[in-house]
């Protein structure tokens, strides 16, 4: 530690001793005293005070209903105008990426599904596609498994967009938008729960395929859900799109043009609201997306209103894709896991009558085949399979933009490194560009139009 003494604070009143030596030119008698002072908050406040202007520094978050999680916004305001905006992150850091280095490749699915907890299927898919490329089995994935992956991703896309729309309405005081949005999301989650056994954090998509096939009655449940959600989306459109109050709060708010998006690496609805039809499902298709009929939704408003319209439009397109997957699943029987038994986890699982665990029939099948099969099953689950040394980057189009995973293997049964490019992390950079120069109330609208999820930002 340096011998230099750092003193802060006001001079001691007359007649009082000064134990810190602040008023004593020779310093304190007991040695140097080091006073630790705050951090970024103190720097901002001190800078504002030094300028001698009547400005206020407001701490919005990290625990605030309009910050979409534990996001901290440090706002410098002049009256009602925001002159400077800074985003503080790291309050939800979970260490997921580091923890994945200490688990098998398959166990990693249960970690990455929890990052952006509103889009679990997309993290699972990107991660598993990357593993399959390292294994060299991309072309061996059963067609039925790829169709189910598309089905689950599009269900999740609708669920995520409905949360973005619902919470955005709530933050502007339109609680009816929230109740309708979450009502429709429940219809989607009911289907997801029926297929995977869980509403969120599913760990359903596995390297080589998916955990289990669709249960009986799933296709009928999907077909019943589609028209119901379409009606709900129509109600949201009627409530929102031509509402003068909503348009007054969102039109030209959170403005970010194409140049700003490219400079900041922004993707998803924010980028498409500038008119650029960039969608990885079209430009770099995966899971057979090139065989589905759908359009890339765009607007040219560059504002929060355009992003809202895009999300609602994409919900309709996702419903169309889900209809196509339902038709294909009825016409495409077959396995849902790669045939290579050195890779394939037991995938023809069947949920027990209590809704938890495996059915007794499935357990009897594992236990009764042969002792060698049981030993192999045990070693595969506990030790995992080996992935050839190498590295890969795999990206998918999540509801928020490009979600990428960079996987590095050293030839072992665990990832040497697993790093995710979560779109919320990149998109959150746009906060300052969208908010500075606008009104304080517009900060909430701008952040809602970004639709960040802090689990994906901090990881």
pLDDT of residue 365: 67
Is residue 96 within 8 A of residue 115, CB to CB? The reply is yes
Element holding 406 (H helix, E strand):
strand 401-409
- Tell me the backbone φ, ψ of residue 375, rounded to 5 degrees: -65, -45
CA distance linking residue 55 with residue 69, whole number of Å? 27
Give how far Cα 78 sits from Cα of 10, 248, 432, 442, Å.
28, 22, 15, 14
CA distance linking residue 217 with residue 21, whole number of Å? 79
- Tell me the backbone φ, ψ of residue 85, rounded to 5 degrees: -135, 130
Is residue 345 within 8 A of residue 206, CB to CB? The reply is yes
Residue 310 tokens read as 């895009």
For residue 26, give every residue at least 6 positions away whose Cβ sits within 8 Å of its Cβ, in sequence order, or none. none
Residue of 448, 429, 161 whose CA lies nearest to 304: 448
Residue 325 tokens read as 């997957």
SS3 104: coil
Residue of 123, 151, 172 whose CA lies nearest to 308: 172
pLDDT of residue 71: 87
Query: Which burial class, exposed, middle or buried, applies to 362 when counting CB atoms under 10 A from its CB (0-12, 13-18, 19+)?
Result: middle
Residue 396 tokens read as 């998918």
Residue of 108, 66, 107, 60 whose CA lies nearest to 87: 60
pLDDT of residue 335: 87
CA distance linking residue 9 with residue 313, whole number of Å? 58
The domain locations on the chain are 1-37, 104-343+385-458
pTM reported for the whole predicted model: 0.83
pLDDT of residue 381: 81
Element holding 145 (H helix, E strand):
helix 143-171
For the CA atoms of the chain, what is the radius of gyration?
26
Is residue 204 within 8 A of residue 211, CB to CB? The reply is yes
Q: What share of the chain is helix, strand, coil (3-state, %, to 5)?
A: 45, 10, 40
pLDDT of residue 370: 67
- Tell me the backbone φ, ψ of residue 405, rounded to 5 degrees: -130, 130
Spell out, as residue ranges, where the chain has pLDDT lower than 50.
1-16, 19-22, 347
Helices (H) and strands (E) in the chain, counts: 18, 8
pLDDT of residue 384: 85
**Cβ density class 110-149: b for 16+ within 10 Å, e for less:** bbbbbbbbbbbbbbbbbbbbbbbebbebeeebbebbbbbb
pLDDT of residue 25: 52
DSSP 88: E
pLDDT of residue 418: 93
pLDDT digits (tens, 9 = 90+) for 332-354: 888 888 888 888 876 455 555 55
pLDDT of residue 5: 39
CA distance linking residue 445 with residue 434, whole number of Å? 10
SS3 14: coil
Determine the CATH number of domain 104-343+385-458: 1.10.645.10
SS3 369: coil
CA distance linking residue 448 with residue 253, whole number of Å? 11
Inter-axis angle of helices 371-383 and 360-368, to 10 degrees? 110
pLDDT of residue 353: 57
Partners of 439 in beta bridges: 81
DSSP 351: B
- Gap between the terminal Cα atoms of the chain: 34
Element holding 206 (H helix, E strand):
strand 205-206
CA distance linking residue 157 with residue 419, whole number of Å? 22
pLDDT of residue 163: 93
pLDDT of residue 79: 81
Question: Residue 378's CB: how many other CB atoms inside 10 A?
Answer: 11
CA distance linking residue 205 with residue 208, whole number of Å? 9
For residue 16, give every residue at least 6 positions away whose Cβ sits within 8 Å of its Cβ, in sequence order, or none. none
- Tell me the backbone φ, ψ of residue 327, rounded to 5 degrees: -65, -45
């Amino acid at each position: 530690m340096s011998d230099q003494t750092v003193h802060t604070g006001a001079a001691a009143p007359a007649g009082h001793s000064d134990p810190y030596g602040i008023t004593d030119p020779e310093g304190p008698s007991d040695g140097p005293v080091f006073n630790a002072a705050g951090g970024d908050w103190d720097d901002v406040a001190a800078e504002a005070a030094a300028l001698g202007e009547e400005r206020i520094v407001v701490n919005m978050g990290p625990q605030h209903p309009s910050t979409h999680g534990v996001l901290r916004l440090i706002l410098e305001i002049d009256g009602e105008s925001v002159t400077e905006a800074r985003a503080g992150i790291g309050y939800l850091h979970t260490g997921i990426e580091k923890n994945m280095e200490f688990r098998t490749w398959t166990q990693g699915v249960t970690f990455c599904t929890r990052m952006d907890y509103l889009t679990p299927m997309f993290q699972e898919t990107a991660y598993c596609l990357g593993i399959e490329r390292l294994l060299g089995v991309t072309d061996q994935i059963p067609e039925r498994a790829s169709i189910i992956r598309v089905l689950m991703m599009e269900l999740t896309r609708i669920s995520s967009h409905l949360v973005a729309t619902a919470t955005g309405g709530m933050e502007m005081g339109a609680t009816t938008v929230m109740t309708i949005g979450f009502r429709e999301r429940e219809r989607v989650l009911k289907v997801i729960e029926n297929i995977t056994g869980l509403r969120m954090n599913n760990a359903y998509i596995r390297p080589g395929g998916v955990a289990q096939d669709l249960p009986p009655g799933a296709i009928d449940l999907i077909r019943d859900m589609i028209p119901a959600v379409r009606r709900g989306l129509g109600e949201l459109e009627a409530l929102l799109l031509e509402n003068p109050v909503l348009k007054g709060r969102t039109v030209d708010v959170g403005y970010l043009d194409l140049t700003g998006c490219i400079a900041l690496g922004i993707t998803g609805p924010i980028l498409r609201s500038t008119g650029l039809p960039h969608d990885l499902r079209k430009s770099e298709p995966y899971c057979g997306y090139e065989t589905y009929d759908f359009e890339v939704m765009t607007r040219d408003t560059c504002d929060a209103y355009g992003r809202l319209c895009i999300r609602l439009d994409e919900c309709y397109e996702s419903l169309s894709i889900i209809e196509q997957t339902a038709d294909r699943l009825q016409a495409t029987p077959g396995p849902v896991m790669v045939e290579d038994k050195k890779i394939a986890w037991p995938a023809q699982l069947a949920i027990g009558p209590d809704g938890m665990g495996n059915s007794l029939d499935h357990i009897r099948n594992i236990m009764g085949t042969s002792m060698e099969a049981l030993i192999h099953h045990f070693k595969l689950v506990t030790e995992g399979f080996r992935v050839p040394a190498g590295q890969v980057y795999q990206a998918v189009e999540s509801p928020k933009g490009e979600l990428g995973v960079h996987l590095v293997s050293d030839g072992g049964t665990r990832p040497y490194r697993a790093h995710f490019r979560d779109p919320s992390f990149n998109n959150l950079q746009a906060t300052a560009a969208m908010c500075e120069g606008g009104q304080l109330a517009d900060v909430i609208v701008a952040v809602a139009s970004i639709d960040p999820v802090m689990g994906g930002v901090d990881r």
